Structure 1
Amino acid sequence: MNTNTNISPGKPLLDTNLDTNFLKLIAIISMLIDHMGGVFFPEYPVFRWFGRLAFPIFCYCMTVGMLYTKNIRRYLGRLGLFAVISQPFWILAFNPQDILGNLTNWNIFFTLFISLLSVWGFKEKKWWLFILAFLVIALWNFDYSYTGIILMLIFYLCRRKPVLGACLYALTYLPALFMASPGDPLNLVLGGHNIGFEAGALFALPLIFLHTNTSLKIPKWFFYAFYPAHLGLIALLRYLLGF
């Protein structure tokens, strides 16, 4: 019997971690640390490393949501709505000096929206939608580009094969371990070897592929509202502190 409080009772649709409220909480804490560090403490890359947990966990939770939602259009609609709401806060938080120039630098909710739309098209064999969404996210200025689609495809296709999914997930981030650009201030340098900060996403692997059961209950709207709210807070702090 499925004892996880995040997912409806019955046979699970995935053999990976269904403790999604716990995962989302980890993700938003990681994201907050990443964004605060990037704006106020850019000289300390540890903030950005910790922040690499957020995106893959969000992608995973979106994949779980796609499989369990009773209405994919409403699900996508919520993502799209908060993407639009968050955009001005995103610009004010990270690029207040060039508002007009960043109107089409899309925030992460747009990336998640297009990525989910693409993978849903793949799931439903709507190949035109899958390809179109992939091209949109690859050619326009979206955070993380098509990485979200790749991750969601791994999570979806390996939903019953967690070992294979974990291996493919690890392979996605292996280049960061061996092919980091020298001189990047966000690199971790060990014995003269550069490790790209994207490698921090590997620490999300056990959270996604191993089971937890915290029984954590958090209203779903909290996770949606947190994104624009924390961006608004960062923008306000920037203004008050003169950053």
Structure 2
Amino acid sequence: MTKTLTLRRIRDVLLTPPTFPEGQPRLKTNMDTNFLKLVAILSMLIDHVGGAFFPEVGWFRWVGRLAFPIFCYCMTVGLLYTRDIKKYLFRLGLFAVISQPFYVLAFHPHDFLAQFTNWNIFCTLFLSLLAMYGLKERKWWLFFAALFVVSWWNFDYSGMGIELMLIFYLCRNHPGIGAALYSLIYLTTLGHVHIEDPLNFVCGSVAIDWTFFTIFAVLFIYIPTHFDLKIPKWFFYAFYPAHLALIALIQFIR
């Protein structure tokens, strides 16, 4: 009986959002989310410019590794703070659908129909947030359904979004543990290096896998900043399809 009560208490602590007095933050990580989103979209822009026009120039992609985990972290904050998670999911899903043709035209302009089901990152983020909503509300069928879809179909980053959001959510008030688990994921990439890959960082006979640079997002997520930028939320949604449309237009002109 004691063991059952202990396990139940651990489960409740992990899955129930904490409550604090009015004005006190619920998370002990970086709450400067507008600044983080700005870092993420600039990183994403550099990554996409590199992927579309300079595919063998590594530093574009190294900088771009910051974007996805920062987006996942900001969505975790949104999961805890939003007043209406269904509207949040609707906005994310809407812009995922709007962005899809531009995403394919930007990166696969000569193979549009065959690549149309190569789903963009907003689709991945939508399913990741949907899974975490299922976890938070203990709608387990929703969690596992979203995990299955994002892992077995052609979604950018696959199930990594859910994996990252689980770390950010479950370790929301234990930043040291969260940072360690996050870092451990990307430290494992050091053992899978192909020195001939032009995107990898190579110094002499030593090569570092280009995905390793994702580890540096931990600095932005776990070190508090206080820029307090005032940016309309719709800007972050609209930027994604807008910059893809611009890249697609340049591809067409070329």
TM-score > 0.5 by shorter chain: yes
Q: Does 1:82 align with 2:91?
A: no
Q: CA deviation at 1:27?
A: 0.4
Q: Select which of 180, 196, 199 maps to 2:212.
A: 199
Residue in 2 that maps onto 1:106: 119
Q: CA deviation at 1:215?
A: 1.4
Gaps of 5+ in 2: 1-21
**Partners of 2:106 and 2:244 within 8 A in 1:** yes
Cα offset for 1:11? 1.7
Name the CA distance, whole Å, in 1 between partners of 2:205 and 2:135. 43
Task: For residue 194 of structure 1, report the CA deviation from its aligned partner.
Answer: 2.3
Structure 1 stretches of 4+ with a deviation exceeding 4 A read none
Alignment of 1:36-115 (within 5 A): 36-115=49-128
Deviation at 1:191, TM superposition (A): 3.9
TM-score normalized by structure 1?
0.93
SS in 2 for 1:97: coil
Deviations 1:109-142 (Å, cap 9, x if unpaired)?
A: 0000001111111111111111111111110000
The CA deviation at 1:99 is 0.8
| 1:30 equivalent in structure 2 | 43
Equivalent pair of 1:182/1:194 in contact (CA under 8 Å):
yes
Contact 1:27 1:55 survives alignment (8 Å): yes
Q: CA deviation at 1:43?
A: 2.5
User: Which deviations, in whole Å up to 9, do the C-alpha atoms of 1:11-49 show, x marking residues without a partner?
Assistant: 212110000000000000000000001111122110000
Mapping of residues 1-243 of structure 1, within 5 Å? 10-240=23-253, 242=254
Unaligned runs of 5+ in 1: 1-8
Counterpart amino acid of residue 57 in structure 2:
Y
Which has more radius of gyration?
2
Percent identity for Structure 1 against Structure 2: 63
Contact 1:107 1:142 in 2 (8 A): yes
Partners in 1 of 2:158 and 2:197 — Cα distance?
A: 20
Check conservation: 2:62, 2:213, Cα contact below 8 A. Answer: yes
Distance in 1 (CA, whole Å) between partners of 2:112 and 2:240 is: 19
